[in-house]
Amino acid sequence: MTFKKTGFALATFITMLFVAMAQAQAGDLTVSGAASLTDAFKEVGAVFQAKHPAVKVQFNFASSDTLLQQIAKGAPVDVFASADQGTMNKAEAQKLITTASRKNFVGNSLVVIVPSDSSATVKAVADLKQANFKRIAIGNPASVPVGRYTKEVLEAATVWPALEGKMILAQNVRQSLDYVARGEVDAGFVYGTDAAIQRDKVKVALTVPTQKPITYPIAATSAAANAAEAAQFVEFTLTPEAQAIFAKYGFTKP
């Protein structure tokens, strides 16, 4: 199976995104968020919109690196939420966000999941070297934060070389989740929040301590067409009301 995204495909995707976003009217708020935020952000956005009836919130979800590329190419985005600090650091270095608005708003965990009908047990990441684990889904470390967290853990455990040949690289964490949920792989690395939304199809085999805490930063973009609304949305993610929604989906406080 090949899951490489060609340059042409990415260019086409970005072009389609520009067309869709160009239709946004004044007062619309475009939020680009890491794929793992999909369900929680949709609910948070609905509550925010109810409090600000003049604002229509629209979301764009993908891997954090893909979102950064879109913003760097000029996609009309008001708010950017990344699944890792590194990607947001790049956005800041490129002056794509307003530094003063940057906040850490949620945290997450890294887990190994297996199909719900699997009898496999995983007590440590080294167990994935066993023959019954033939295919393991991970986010592509070159472009997906969860993949980078995973690689750091596996390298620290000195099992990366042994597992690399088994890896199926995903374009974002939800794709890894889908591979496991459909039984197309024997295990996968995802965030704890992603595992929670497919409890009927996957189960957590191991919660993996990471080299550094998994924290999500959010910021208004420097080119935000709706700067006031962007600032309001960023601040809203830190309110008790929004934090309660994030907690419901398994996110922790940063």
Numbered residues of the known binding site for molybdate:
36, 64, 173, 191
Tokens of 119: 């009898």
Q: State the Cα–Cα distance between residues 93 and 71, nearest whole angstrom.
A: 13
Q: What is the DSSP letter of 119?
A: -
Of 25, 41, 23, 22, whose CA–CA distance to 33 is shortest?
A: 41
Q: What is the DSSP letter of 116?
A: T
Contacts of 156 (CB under 8 A, 6+ apart): 211
Q: State the Cα–Cα distance between residues 111 and 65, nearest whole angstrom.
A: 21
Annotated binding site: 36, 64, 173, 191
User: How distant is the alpha carbon of residue 194 from its chain centre?
Assistant: 9
Q: State the Cα–Cα distance between residues 8 and 49, nearest whole angstrom.
A: 35
| Cβ-contact 25, 76 below 8 angstroms | no
